[in-house]
């Protein structure tokens, strides 16, 4: 069956979530796996959205980035409790181009920019004071100047192949709409709850 654009439906739901969720409607759970298939999951923030996919940013030294490098197949989950809805996305993560990463980095608060320089994300930290000292060192280093994006900090865009829209219904008779990308574009179907 031919489908309407799943991104239009996502945009509609996301607009409702921004109006109803008390905190971080752009929070999405990101599932990655090692090359051997060992999974891990964490929440990240959606920082870009369009027909090309769902974008987030991280340190290339982070566990998520290392796993994406080994296995770019990922899954995302948006859960909007206030709306009793969720969206599940499966696809492939691709690095954003450096100009796009630079443009986004420039929109971050100066403190967040400094934090990107101070953190060896996901690496062991002997004690909090060490991180705080590194943050202060970075503050001094960039005092009076713009903070450039570190070369080890960038973004990924998840290009979806499957998008499922789940709506809560009474008596666990939920509605599940599945959009699947094929050679001729998106097709839509339903799943049993």
Would you call 63 a catalytic residue per the annotation?
A: no
Alpha helices in the chain (DSSP H): 6-20, 63-70, 98-107, 110-118, 128-141
Contact 149, 116 (CB under 8 A): yes
CB atoms within 10 A of CB 65: 21
In whole angstroms, give the CA distance from residue 105 to residue 68: 21
Catalytic-role residue among 169, 172, 176, 177: 172
Question: Is residue 175 within a helix (H) or strand (E), and if so which, with residue range?
Answer: strand 175-182
- The residues carrying an active-site annotation are 172
């Amino acid at each position: 069956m031919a489908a309407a654009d799943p991104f239009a439906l996502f945009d509609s739901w996301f607009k409702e979530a921004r109006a109803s969720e008390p905190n971080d409607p752009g929070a999405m759970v990101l599932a990655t796996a090692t090359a051997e298939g060992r999974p891990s999951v964490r929440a990240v923030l959606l920082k870009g959205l369009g027909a090309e996919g769902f974008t987030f940013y991280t340190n290339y030294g982070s566990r998520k980035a290392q796993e994406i490098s080994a296995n770019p197949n990922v899954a995302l989950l948006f859960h909007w409790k206030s709306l009793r809805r969720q969206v599940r996305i499966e696809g492939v993560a691709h690095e954003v181009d450096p100009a796009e990463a630079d443009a986004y980095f420039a929109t971050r608060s100066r403190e967040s920019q400094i934090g990107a320089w101070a953190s060896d994300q996901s690496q062991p930290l002997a004690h909090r004071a060490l991180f705080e000292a590194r943050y202060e060192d970075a503050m001094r280093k960039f005092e009076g100047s713009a903070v450039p994006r570190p070369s080890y900090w960038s973004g990924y865009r998840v290009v979806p192949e499957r998008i499922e829209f789940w709506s809560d219904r009474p008596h666990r008779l939920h509605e599940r709409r599945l959009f699947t990308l094929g050679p001729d574009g998106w097709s839509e179907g339903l799943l049993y709850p």
